[in-house]
Amino acid sequence: MIENTPLVRKLGAFVALSAPELAVLASLHKRRRTFVAGRDLVRQGQSDQAAYILANGWACSYKLLEDGRRQIVDFQIPGDFLGLRSILLHVSDHSIEPVTDIEVTEILAADLLTAFAQTPRLATAVLWAASRDEAMVVEHLVDIGRRDAAERMAHFLLELGGRLTLVGLATKAGYACPLTQYLLADALGLSSVHVNRVLRQLREAGMVTFREGFVAFDDYDKLAVFAKFDPTYMDPRGPLLL
């Protein structure tokens, strides 16, 4: 019997996976590996890369411009794929860096493609997961393109809270968050200086406090209104495939 991992919980919300399907999914998990914070596990431009499933810890995927500017595309939390696109596109268009020390299980490209051929419902489930990730990137795009710094920060902290709640790592009260202000800056397209000021604003407005690795929602509803946070793109609307 396969354990109740975050990944299974996530995919299960979309496709009711049968026992044989779960077995195939389990068989994908190869070596368990650990990586230390800060040392890239996927590098932009590498080809024929393996993919991973994050079991423990936080990571971030980012892109670098050659002059050193960097944009963090997304953070990954337990249950998320790392580098799935690297497999499908043959080459990694981004880098992935562990934010904390992490534990992952490796997945080989060939195994994954074989599994898709044998268990089409699994392929559909993964397509769903990829779509959900894309929806988050899209929301992130709206953040950076059309929300000002404070709204952006507020929205980001709420979204993260929502994702963590799905895997049991957050409540409406708050969550533990290992991100530094530098990481937030690179994710939100701001300078770290400005991140600091914005966090102060939100704290002084009594909406949210981010301090010493913990995000505390002081007034969740007020924050949600302020950020124009609409969670429909996040929560599963019940299984699509039975």
Partner DNA sequence: ACGCTGCGCTGATCGAGATCAGCTATCGAC
Partner DNA sequence: GTCGATAGCTGATCTCGATCAGCGCAGCGT
Residues forming contacts to a second copy in the complex (CB under 8 A) are 45, 47, 63, 65-67, 69-71, 73, 84-85, 88-91, 93-94, 113, 116-121, 123-124, 126-128, 130-135, 137-142, 144-147, 188-189, 228, 232-233, 237-238, 240-241
Least distance CB 132 / a second copy (angstroms): 7
Instruction: Name which of a second copy, DNA, none residue 211 binds, using a CB cut-off of 5 to 8 Å depending on partner kind.
Output: DNA
Instruction: Name which of a second copy, DNA, none residue 180 binds, using a CB cut-off of 5 to 8 Å depending on partner kind.
Output: DNA
Least distance CB 141 / a second copy (angstroms): 5
In the block, residue with structure tokens 């992935």: 96
- In contact, 126 and 111? CB cutoff 8 Å: no
Residue 139 or 151 having the CB closest to DNA: 151
Which residues of the chain form contacts with DNA (CB under 7 A)? 148-150, 180-182, 189-194, 196-197, 199-200, 211
Instruction: Name which of a second copy, DNA, none residue 84 binds, using a CB cut-off of 5 to 8 Å depending on partner kind.
Output: a second copy
Radius of gyration of the chain (CA): 18
- In contact, 150 and 201? CB cutoff 8 Å: yes
> In a 3-state reduction of DSSP, which class is residue 74?
strand
Three-class SS string for 79-103?
CCEECHHHHHCCECCCEEEECCCEE
Whole-angstrom Cα distance, residue 214 to residue 224?
A: 18
Measure CA of the first residue to CA of the last residue in the chain; give whole Å.
Answer: 20
Residue 70 or 121 having the CB closest to DNA: 70
Whole-angstrom Cα distance, residue 120 to residue 126?
A: 10
Pairing status of strand 174-176 against strand 51-56: unpaired
Residue 43 or 194 having the CB closest to DNA: 194
Burial bucket for residue 100 (CB in 10 Å: 0-12, 13-18, 19+): middle
Instruction: Name which of a second copy, DNA, none residue 23 binds, using a CB cut-off of 5 to 8 Å depending on partner kind.
Output: none
Least distance CB 214 / a second copy (angstroms): 26
Residue 22 or 149 having the CB closest to DNA: 149
Instruction: Name which of a second copy, DNA, none residue 214 binds, using a CB cut-off of 5 to 8 Å depending on partner kind.
Output: none
Least distance CB 122 / a second copy (angstroms): 9
